[in-house]
Amino acid sequence: MSDEVRAELKGKVLRLKDLIEYQDGTVASRMIVNRPVGTITLFSFDEDEGLSEHTAPYDAVVTILDGECEVWLAGETHQMKEGETIIFPANAPHALSAVTRFKMMLTMVRE
């Protein structure tokens, strides 16, 4: 999404889970804020989709907007559902997997 399209979202009341649609058999994403200090990206995951274990050099905040998922963080498993948030510390291994279709907001905080 271009900065011009993202600018159209500014100053409006938004229902974040309505800004991204589910797509069969895949993970979809939509970045809504892109700044040098961080990003906010919305994701939708179809059933049986996920993100394999990885690390990020920055803290990441994940908020579940719809559905349910399983999160692995540094060897611990967490069941998450709509309205719940988890903070992934920088460089901590983590992964996500859909229990049902789910949507999430990812906020990356860069230094």
Residue-level pLDDT, tens digit, the chain, 111 residues: 566 667 788 889 999 999 999 999 999 999 999 999 999 999 999 999 999 999 999 999 999 999 999 999 999 999 999 999 999 999 999 999 999 999 999 999 997
In this prediction the pTM is: 0.91
pLDDT confidence of residue 6: 74
Q: SS3 for 4?
A: helix
| Residue 42 bridge partners (DSSP) | 30, 105
The continuous run of DSSP H or E covering 5 comes out as helix 3-7
User: What is the C-alpha to C-alpha distance for residues 75 and 65, in angstroms, rounded to an integer?
Assistant: 24
Angle at 95 between CA 43 and CA 14, to 5 degrees: 20
Record the tokens describing residue 62, joined without a space. 């994940």
pLDDT confidence of residue 5: 63
Angle at 57 between CA 109 and CA 94, to 5 degrees: 95
Q: What is the CATH number of domain 3-109?
A: 2.60.120.10
The ranges assigned to domains in the chain are 3-109
pLDDT confidence of residue 2: 60
Record the tokens describing residue 61, joined without a space. 């905040």
